[in-house]
Structure 1
Amino acid sequence: MADASSAAATASAQPAASAPLAGRVAIVTGASRGIGRAIAAHLSSLGASLVLGYASSDAEAEALAASLPRAVAVRADVSDEAGVRSLFDAAESAFGAGAHILVANAGVLDDKYPSLADTTTESFDRTLAVNARGVFLCLREAANQLPRGGGGRIVAVTSSVVGSLPTGYAAYTASKAAVEAMVRTMAKELKGTRITANCVAPGSTASDMFFAGKTEDMVRRNVENNPMERLGEPRDIAPVVGFLCTDAAEWVNGQVIRANGGYV
């Protein structure tokens, strides 16, 4: 017979029955740092079991997995079909159930911020490979694997640059616009499944990717141009994604939610 302390430990490792995502498995790509890390931690707090997809930062991904009650870290290249399948396979092998939720968050940005005229073919191809092809592969796998009949949720993290169209972001903006088009189309194609598909489009958010290559003046201008007079934080984005993953959000479908403090 298990002693009281071990029984208590087992109970604490189980999601509370009242947690909105109790018993559900979520895949989050780009989960080792920044917005993806905050999303993963928030979904865990809602009761979800997590597959943490990442492309680098092994130590950070493993540390996050160890800090959450039900999580496994999986290194995978989302631009590769086998890599994407490995994330969904991990949900089944780690938790005995297929994924219920996909959050497609992984992305890259050319931190030289070239004009379109100065964007190299290599930079363009890399940006589209991860940001557009990678999300396409994740969306396709989710459309074929998420459960029908309720609880299936797809959220793609895009960007408010699709609305603001800043200079120096041509390839990045194009990649995120493509994702928004795919997700909104997909919401209609999934008619009858009760799987919802939405986008969350952050504005300037304090993260390694945002700060990369930016001068202090560039950061200052982002702050000054926002009605809230600050940068966003990953914690501003995670609850928006979390809501869209719950049953309470079933009537929100095919939408792009711009979480940017009113910038655009």
Structure 2
Amino acid sequence: MSSTISTHPATGIPRVALVTGGSGGIGRAVVDRLARDGFAIGVHYAGNRAQAEATVAAVVAAGGRAIAAGGDVADEQTMSAVFDTVEAEFGGIDVVVNTAGIMLLSPIATLDLADLDRIYRTNVRGTFVVSQQAARRIRPGGAIINFSTSVTRAQFPGYGAYVASKAAIESITLILARELRGKDVTVNTVAPGPTATPLFLNGKDEATIATLATAVPLERLGQPDDIAETVAFLAGPARWVNGQVVFTNGGLA
């Protein structure tokens, strides 16, 4: 990991990122990647405090700066406190990466509506709450990065409720980018394709995984680091990319 501290090009102030769902999967890869770029990191977790603290310890051991902060992304008071904690520790927030989300798969005809409510609470309300806090607090020159899925275009059966929640996230992102006119804050969504994370692999047999991998022209599953590279681009040099959905999927149609 680089020991160089990332600073705002105009002010020289050290840059700070808050990553929701930062203790595992894509979130953990994003934490590691931004830490290598010199960001101080707030590692948010929903339930696995030990995993979040291990993530923080790894960043600190490599010469970086990080703290853990937990809470339900859909609870506005809790997330306000998370933002407060990160700001108090590091002096402000420049980038918010909202990787927190859940995926429950079922045909629409048989979906338990309680599962629909769970998906919407975390994915839609959670993204809205985090985006709202970020819109109020991020310093000029910053970035908000939300997460969708390439299945909004691939339209796999069984993904109806999940894709509906992610399509809502895309809409929230595109509107917020325009609402923040004049604030010098970019707002984008990353839409990964099939990526080898526990969220994606859980409940799938080897044949299904192989089929999804070969559906990609590059003929492999994405890795969390592949997605983290796109996030690092949007968090850093990509100041002219705004109000976009970036499909990071190896060419999946």
Bucket of the pairwise TM-score, normalised by the shorter protein: over 0.9
- Distance in structure 2 (CA, Å) of the matches to 1:187 and 1:100: 15
Matched-pair contact (CA < 8 Å) for 1:15–1:22: no
Deviation at 1:166, TM superposition (A): 0.9
TM-score by length of 1: 0.89
Cα deviations by residue, 1:12-38 (Å, 9 ceiling, x for unpaired): 96626699x971110000111010000
Counterpart check, 1:130 vs 2:122: yes
Change (3 A) 1:42 1:218: same
After superposition, the CA RMSD in angstroms is: 1.7
Counterpart check, 1:82 vs 2:77: yes
Counterpart check, 1:240 vs 2:230: yes
For residues 95-244 of structure 1, the aligned pairs below 5 Å read 95=90, 97-110=91-104, 113-148=105-140, 151-244=141-234
Change (3 A) 1:166 1:16: closer
AA aligned opposite 1:141: Q
- Distance in structure 2 (CA, Å) of the matches to 1:86 and 1:16: 25
- Distance in structure 1 (CA, Å) of the matches to 2:129 and 2:21: 14
- Distance in structure 2 (CA, Å) of the matches to 1:191 and 1:167: 38
| Matched residue SS, 1:249 | coil
TM-score by length of 2: 0.93
Counterpart check, 1:66 vs 2:57: yes
Change (3 A) 1:16 1:157: closer
Deviation at 1:58, TM superposition (A): 1.9
AA aligned opposite 1:242: A
Matched-pair contact (CA < 8 Å) for 1:22–1:46: no
Aligned to 1:252, which of 241, 248, 251?
Answer: 241
Deviation at 1:93, TM superposition (A): 1.8
Matched-pair contact (CA < 8 Å) for 1:22–1:48: no
Moved over 6 A (4+): 16-19
| Matched residue SS, 2:226 | helix
What runs of 5+ residues in structure 1 fail to find an aligned partner? 1-11
Query: What fraction of aligned residue pairs are identical, expressed as a percent?
Result: 40
Cα deviations by residue, 1:70-104 (Å, 9 ceiling, x for unpaired): 00011111011122112211112211x12111101
Matched-pair contact (CA < 8 Å) for 2:6–2:14: no
Matched-pair contact (CA < 8 Å) for 1:27–1:87: no
Change (3 A) 1:184 1:16: closer
Matched-pair contact (CA < 8 Å) for 1:78–1:138: yes
